[in-house]
Structure 1
């Protein structure tokens, strides 16, 4: 938040002083991209010199702009954590939410709320109590060592409370705004940082599970590649230590919703936005960027790159945006640019948007973000996937549109995949294979369109099953056609982890990869290993896994 600025004092008795940071400086980026790269390079050189993880502090001269390393000491907290040992927390029953803010850590704890206005009230705190206060500073350190968790009204991910929480290994929810008003002293509460970047404070002792996992003992399948479904950049580093062969599906929707927040066309055609509140939000979000389009490109590229870097050099397959029109409309400024459809599930979505005049320029920004990640940041492990491509001709149009926007298939190793989630993708798989480098089966959409079921309708939901004979026929057929064409093919979905027989079916058909949500990964691996053991002779395993 950069609330205070440190300057030299005016007299010998006050060598330095803190003053409130002027608003224009608070709204500026602290470092340029080039300066970030310089600091990263120096950090690597320092750690290489000392041959150990280091905690490094830097400063930037306010007059000359020069960067200095001012301290380097051994890092003794995070370096001691074994990334192959993970504890997963899952809230069972959420209850009433008392406060929310930024989540620091991934734990869940319960304890008594202890409202403190200053360190002088340390006598009130018992070991394991959860500190609730306005803001912490270094003089709080001795007290916080007793805390089971920390909740603050103010602060962000780099605030004092956040830093201390990470060092102590306790969860914190910071920047809540009104926690000291909404939480009563002495009452039992639950702090949850297990639900993504937002942390929650629930009333009472909320039940949760705590599961310890040792990845070092996990046996990966011999043939079938096991990949992850990802979307949240904040979780990427931790997920990269899970047993995996890369990311088989990275959804852009999470980054656009939570980081960008704005409909891309509202940034491009700002004057056409009719909602003044939406314009105010856009002005605030994009104020530090050269223009509104750059805001979208940089924020999206940053999110994609965070995930791609965490898994590098493993493949990360990025699916271009696949919001339905009603979901796009919920983005800031989106209602002015989206049609009202009776059935958005099979309406203006996927590939059909990318070359259409209503969204073409928005797709250009998506392509520019991917190009920045691959060409400027050097993360060439990023591949691109096109969703909901109804016809072969539509596939040609999208590939041509991508080329016009600087993303050319095969240049710098760029591979372009297509989702196999429409019956036409199966029926004409040989023709789609001539255009695309690989397939990923979207079993949810393929099943609903094969069976003619709206999977959002409770009235017919009992008929929805990927294991229906017709759905399995479609899946088997597209796998066989892809393999015959020498193309890679995978599947993204929950069914292989839920149903061992479905995993066995995919292995028998010769699927190259299966992608799982993180919470389903270990069960999915177990099912695939068992299926390979039962269905693939040792002599055939090499042939089965020939495409990677």
Structure 2
């Protein structure tokens, strides 16, 4: 009897069954049969096999009719649209062979009995035998039907899945990839629905989708059924978890970004067909994260287990049941973009001009493109899309793919990093900005713009066609050096971009940059929120900190995640985080800052750095910085974070700051904590031995040190010729510090601009015995080669 080959239950399948049930269903079977014992929950279901599909074709004599239509298309006697429509109509008018229909009805009744219901609500999904392969995603090529209940409705949904093998986009994609249309069979999966309509759902990757950084899990989610996230109909919440420390029992959630989540997909009011509807979310839903920290960590653990099982980065869909509160994995497939990239090269893009920022969103890819806007809101009008334009629309679906490959860049109103526009843009190598909110309403066709995804997580659309350059950095055959080569990283957004560079940590991460870009609020305004006199600032803080009962927690939470993301990019190499070093005028520019900052004639030499940390004026704000550092190291687990004290003028001041750090739970040696000091003023040089007896290391800030030793404003155009890090007075000072540091077994590095710009300065530092150089990322390879040459000469 052939009938048993028509239906196979998921728990009897594995990844060896792709030819029988397609990639999607084989993977579901692999998850259930291989990983259920490790606690991963997958809804039960069954698959209609490729044999069932071919029986359907044979019973209705469809194959020769399909061949006739495809031949007419390939010979350009018939359009793609007419070809697809005609073939789909053939399926819609065809009947199931009796034994196949009986098998489907019986399996559906068995599934309902397993869940102890009369008619189970199911998701009926297409699963092609050439789908979800490591080198071809076929993202969204075939149809899925949700909330299908009743055996008649299941049969109809299966027929519509068969027909969807010949959507216009599926025909076009197979043509492009070189797949024989009639060699690809279609299996159908009938899976019990998770009641995510009453909770939430989303997508998860076990790799960073933009940079290929392998040590994180990226999770996106929104309220309701997960189709809105996949389609890009909403801008979802986004979470990033660092995998290595997750496995050691820490809680390394290094990113939590709240999406707008304006809509959700839920069950409709009527039973039977077409019972899915889109409704607006409530204000409360928009302000809340869709899952808790514990649930984020649970999903991330599952991602690690699934990735380990498959032995490759994975793309997964998850859902939460609103009735039981349980989490489920509903799909898993190989990630098809970053895992296919060639190692050994790094392409970087850089704007050569400044421009007006028109809008921002999530950056997809890391490239820059310029062109004229082509604003198209419907697939009915995609023939208007011009080659090389910047496509602007609300969202994309698979029907857009034929034109997406012809444009220079894509901008959408909605979507997150895992939406359709993002997935296809990555696969095509086209930069995109998604989730802008209002691009289609604020931009107009023929407007000159430049799309930049080269500035971190945030993509920016600039007015005008700006000049930019693309640089290929070859990472092969870079020599090892005794001198540690580290990086200066300005922001968490940029950290992952440079993970492939051959460096040994981060020599300077500026806390004030994180505060300025992620937090934006003066810490003392959060400490004194209830008593703020500036009511405009009070209202702004109220809106920014929604969801935080204690406004101080907003500062600690966001700061520790920003530091954590930077620390993750180089773990376990050291990451030196400089405590806040805003000048008074810069602090005043933070939200609520003017109430706590006075005017200074010379902020550069004013109330900054170490002096703030023990001052009654800022001590409570500094305590928040300490809490964030402590959480990064002890809760997240990033013990590679080294604290650095800036602008420490006196030895007695060093003692006071170290005591304040102890009072805030940061004591040298506890959890391997090291505390460095910036060497940027003459006092640090003259009293280097005393500072070396207190701190674990030095980091020379060559710009400030040169400025103060030579008495030259580093920003003065008139005195530019006098500002020189290679001046004998400066090099003598650096040599003295290195000697003093090494006398007491302390490390000393440099984090100024000098080594990046001046090869002779880098050569001097090697001769002087510097332990490390922290460079701008784009000069790492060049300087590392120079350092290797200098070290070779010294040892010759």
Q: Give the 3-state SS of the residue equivalent to 1:482 in structure 2.
A: helix
- Displacement, 1:534? 1.9
Does residue 118 (structure 1) correspond to residue 378 (structure 2)? The answer is yes
C-alpha distance in 2 between matches for 1:65 and 1:364? 37
Does residue 451 (structure 1) correspond to residue 746 (structure 2)? The answer is no
Tell me what 2:682 maps to. 423
The structure-2 alpha-carbon separation of the partners of 1:47 and 1:157, relative to structure 1 and needing over 3 Å to count, comes to closer
Tell me what 1:71 maps to. 331
Tell me what 2:637 maps to. 378
The structure-2 alpha-carbon separation of the partners of 1:301 and 1:122, relative to structure 1 and needing over 3 Å to count, comes to same
Tell me what 2:580 maps to. 321
- Displacement, 1:435? 0.7
Q: Which residue, 24, 28, 31 being the options, matches 2:288?
A: 28
Does residue 524 (structure 1) correspond to residue 779 (structure 2)? The answer is no
C-alpha distance in 2 between matches for 1:424 and 1:148? 54
- Displacement, 1:505? 0.9
Tell me what 1:60 maps to. 320
- Displacement, 1:22? 0.9
Which ranges in structure 2 are unaligned for 5 or more consecutive residues?
A: 1-259
Tell me what 2:363 maps to. 103
- In terms of Rg, which structure is larger? 2
Q: Which residue, 427, 433, 447 being the options, matches 1:173?
A: 433
Bigger shift: residues 139-148 or 477-486: 139-148
Tell me what 2:521 maps to. 262
Superposition map of 1:144-223 within 5 A: 144-155=404-415, 157=417, 160-176=420-436, 179-180=439-440, 183-221=443-481, 223=482
Q: Is the 8 A contact 2:526 2:551 kept in 1?
A: yes
Q: Which residue, 268, 271, 295 being the options, matches 2:530?
A: 271
Residues 260-294 of structure 1: CA deviation (Å, up to 9, x unaligned): 11111111111343332221221111111231111
Tell me what 1:546 maps to. none
Q: Which residue, 253, 267, 282 being the options, matches 1:8?
A: 267
Bigger shift: residues 447-456 or 92-101: 92-101
Residues 477-511 of structure 1: CA deviation (Å, up to 9, x unaligned): 10111111111000012211222221111111100
Tell me what 1:343 maps to. 602
The structure-2 alpha-carbon separation of the partners of 1:265 and 1:167, relative to structure 1 and needing over 3 Å to count, comes to farther
Bigger shift: residues 437-446 or 31-40: 31-40
Residues 148-186 of structure 1: CA deviation (Å, up to 9, x unaligned): 211234555555534443343321234445544554423
Q: Give the 3-state SS of the residue equivalent to 1:293 in structure 2.
A: helix
C-alpha RMSD of the superposition:
2.0
Q: Is the 8 A contact 1:322 1:350 kept in 2?
A: yes
- Displacement, 1:8? 2.3
Q: Give the 3-state SS of the residue equivalent to 1:186 in structure 2.
A: coil
Q: Give the 3-state SS of the residue equivalent to 1:289 in structure 2.
A: coil
Q: Is the 8 A contact 2:639 2:673 kept in 1?
A: yes
Does residue 240 (structure 1) correspond to residue 240 (structure 2)? The answer is no
Bigger shift: residues 16-25 or 186-195: 186-195
Bigger shift: residues 437-446 or 30-39: 30-39
The structure-2 alpha-carbon separation of the partners of 1:52 and 1:175, relative to structure 1 and needing over 3 Å to count, comes to closer
Q: Is the 8 A contact 1:98 1:179 kept in 2?
A: no
Does residue 130 (structure 1) correspond to residue 365 (structure 2)? The answer is no
The structure-2 alpha-carbon separation of the partners of 1:376 and 1:427, relative to structure 1 and needing over 3 Å to count, comes to same
Residues 409-436 of structure 1: CA deviation (Å, up to 9, x unaligned): 1001000000111111111111111110
Residues 112-151 of structure 1: CA deviation (Å, up to 9, x unaligned): 3211021111101133321012344555444433332112
Q: Is the 8 A contact 2:261 2:286 kept in 1?
A: yes
Does residue 402 (structure 1) correspond to residue 661 (structure 2)? The answer is yes
Q: Is the 8 A contact 2:756 2:776 kept in 1?
A: no
Which ranges in structure 1 are unaligned for 5 or more consecutive residues?
A: 538-548
Bigger shift: residues 364-373 or 151-160: 151-160
Q: Give the 3-state SS of the residue equivalent to 1:435 in structure 2.
A: coil
C-alpha distance in 2 between matches for 1:106 and 1:465? 35
- Displacement, 1:97? 4.8
Task: Write out the 4+ residue segments of structure 1 that deviate beyond 6 Å after TM superposition.
Answer: none
Superposition map of 1:446-485 within 5 A: 446-485=705-744
Q: Give the 3-state SS of the residue equivalent to 1:206 in structure 2.
A: coil
Q: Is the 8 A contact 1:229 1:250 kept in 2?
A: yes
C-alpha distance in 2 between matches for 1:199 and 1:213? 22
C-alpha distance in 1 between matches for 2:398 and 2:278? 15
Tell me what 1:301 maps to. 560
The structure-2 alpha-carbon separation of the partners of 1:159 and 1:72, relative to structure 1 and needing over 3 Å to count, comes to closer
C-alpha distance in 2 between matches for 1:285 and 1:137? 33
Report the TM-score, using the length of structure 1 for normalisation. Answer: 0.93
Does residue 249 (structure 1) correspond to residue 508 (structure 2)? The answer is yes
Q: Is the 8 A contact 2:647 2:680 kept in 1?
A: yes
Q: Which residue, 439, 442, 450 being the options, matches 2:698?
A: 439
C-alpha distance in 2 between matches for 1:194 and 1:138? 26
Bigger shift: residues 11-20 or 385-394: 11-20
C-alpha distance in 2 between matches for 1:44 and 1:176? 31
Q: Is the 8 A contact 2:496 2:569 kept in 1?
A: yes
Q: Give the 3-state SS of the residue equivalent to 1:321 in structure 2.
A: coil
Q: Which has the higher contact order (CA 8 A, sep 6+)?
A: 1
- Displacement, 1:204? 4.4
Tell me what 1:543 maps to. none
Residues 354-381 of structure 1: CA deviation (Å, up to 9, x unaligned): 1111111111111111111110111111
Report the TM-score, using the length of structure 2 for normalisation. Answer: 0.65
The structure-2 alpha-carbon separation of the partners of 1:203 and 1:297, relative to structure 1 and needing over 3 Å to count, comes to closer
Tell me what 1:44 maps to. 304
Q: Is the 8 A contact 1:231 1:253 kept in 2?
A: no
